[in-house]
């Protein structure tokens, strides 16, 4: 099985993260470059998330009502059963879910991203070797920073 890479339009789309610990913070650090429309449902919140005052935090345990307006969901609690429940509910609601402690049962995984101006590169190993994905992304970033991959200004559809 191979994952399909797509670029998602996040205008008017809220991202839901269930759980507010280390992994949730790590996810927010990746997501905030693209959107600040993020809601977190969890009884406790990591200090690094609290300092981001734009995050909408609902201080409670997860229940399926939380998925009502959701489209993209991260199941990021430290309870395997809760994460699995989020995944089952998300599939009923037809929203896409990432399960942090069991990625293969979810709908999507997070790639390693390099973004410069309008260009975005997202590298994935399909969950098989995250360190290789990070290395490829870093190598691509190095090439771009050394001017070996060029952006042609003035023609928005062409690169060399």
Ligand X SMILES: NC(=O)C1=CN([C@@H]2O[C@H](COP(=O)(O)OP(=O)(O)OC[C@H]3O[C@@H](n4cnc5c(N)ncnc54)[C@H](O)[C@@H]3O)[C@@H](O)[C@H]2O)C=CC1
Residues interacting with ligand X, by CB under 6 A?
18-24, 41-44, 61-62, 76-79, 82, 100-101
Residue 19 Cβ vs ligand X, minimum distance, rounded to whole Å: 3
Listed residue (81, 105, 71, 95) closest to 19, CA to CA = 81
29/44 with CB nearer ligand SHN:
29
Q: Checking DSSP bridges between strand 119-123 and strand 112-116, what pairing results, if any?
A: antiparallel
Residue 152 Cβ vs ligand X, minimum distance, rounded to whole Å: 36
The Cα–Cα gap between 88 and 63 comes to 12
Do 86 and 101 contact (CB within 8 A), yes or no? no
Do 27 and 74 contact (CB within 8 A), yes or no? yes
Residue 43 Cβ vs ligand X, minimum distance, rounded to whole Å: 5
Do 28 and 38 contact (CB within 8 A), yes or no? yes
Q: Which of 14, 103, 105, 107 binds ligand SHN (CB under 6 A)?
A: 103
Element containing residue 89 per DSSP (H, E): helix 80-93
Do 49 and 20 contact (CB within 8 A), yes or no? yes
> Among all residues, whose Cβ is closest to ligand X?
21
Residue 156 Cβ vs ligand SHN, minimum distance, rounded to whole Å: 26
Does 127 contact ligand SHN by CB under 6 A? Answer: yes
Q: What residues from 39 to 98 belong to the interface with ligand SHN (CB under 6 A)?
A: 98
Please give the residue ranges that form the binding site for ligand SHN (CB under 6 A): 26, 30, 98, 100, 103, 109-112, 124-127, 130-131, 133-134
């Amino acid at each position: 099985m191979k994952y399909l890479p797509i670029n998602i339009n996040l205008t008017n789309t809220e991202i839901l993260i269930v759980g507010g610990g280390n992994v949730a913070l790590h996810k927010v650090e990746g997501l905030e470059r693209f959107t600040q429309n993020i809601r977190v449902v969890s009884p406790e919140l990591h200090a690094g998330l609290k300092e981001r005052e734009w995050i909408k935090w609902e201080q409670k345990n997860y229940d399926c009502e939380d998925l009502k307006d959701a489209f993209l969901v991260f199941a990021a609690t430290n309870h395997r059963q809760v994460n699995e429940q989020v995944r089952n509910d998300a599939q009923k609601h037809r929203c896409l879910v990432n399960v942090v402690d069991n990625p293969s049962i979810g709908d999507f995984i997070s790639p390693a991203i390099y973004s410069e101006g309008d260009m975005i590169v997202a590298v994935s190993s399909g969950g098989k070797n995250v360190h290789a994905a990070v290395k490829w992304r870093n190598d691509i970033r190095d090439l771009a920073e050394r001017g070996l991959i060029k952006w042609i200004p003035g023609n928005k559809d062409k690169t060399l």
